[in-house]
Every structure is written in structure tokens, then in C-alpha cells.
Amino acid sequence: MPIHENMEAVTIEHSELIQRVAEMRAAINGQLSDKGRIVDHLLDIRLDFEAAGIVAIIDELLVEMPGLTVVENSWWTTALDRLQLAASPTAV
């Protein structure tokens, strides 16, 4: 595959991830979220987006996730910020 086609695929993947993060952020309500639901979201993203950096961040988030059954939405918002930053194209 020529480099430019690969770059286009990566850009599309990143924009899809940014959209997914925005949808998850919009669904945040209150101070707490169900931990199982957050784990499901992270695992879905991990399966759908193959970029090594995204997978590494999700793995870190899964290890660092606080709480037994619920997670404070401040943590979840910060986690979504990390994913969005990783999905944002960088300028060289």
C-alpha cells in the first residue's frame, strides 16, 4: 500500500476515534459511571482501532482504573481527554 493511502486510512481512523470519544463524553451524567460500562467502551475501542499508541493508552487506563463497581466521572473525563489527544493529528 502506498504511503499516502496508509496516511489517509490513519486519518480516517483518528477522526472516527475522536467522534467516538465525543459520543462517550456526551453520555456522561452525574458524578459516577458504571465501571463495567467504561471497561466495555475501552475494550470496544481497543478492538476497533489498531494504532499501537491507542492500544497502549487503553491498556494503561484499564490497569489504572479506580473503583470496584463505579468510577468517578472526573477520572473518566480525563481518560477520554487522553484518548482524544492520542487521536488528534500532530503537526510536524
pLDDT in the model for residue 20: 94
List the one residue out of 77, 85, 81 whose CA is nearest residue 28: 77
- Please state, as a whole number, how many other Cβ atoms lie within 10 Å of the Cβ of residue 52: 7
pLDDT in the model for residue 90: 62
If DSSP codes are grouped into helix, strand and coil, which group holds residue 49? coil
C-alpha 8: how far from chain center: 20
pTM, whole model, 2 decimals? Answer: 0.81
**Over the stretch 36-88, which tens digit does the pLDDT of each residue have?**
999 999 999 999 988 888 999 999 999 999 999 999 999 999 999 999 998 87
If DSSP codes are grouped into helix, strand and coil, which group holds residue 31? coil
pLDDT in the model for residue 49: 86
**Over the stretch 11-43, which tens digit does the pLDDT of each residue have?**
557 789 999 999 999 999 999 999 999 999 999
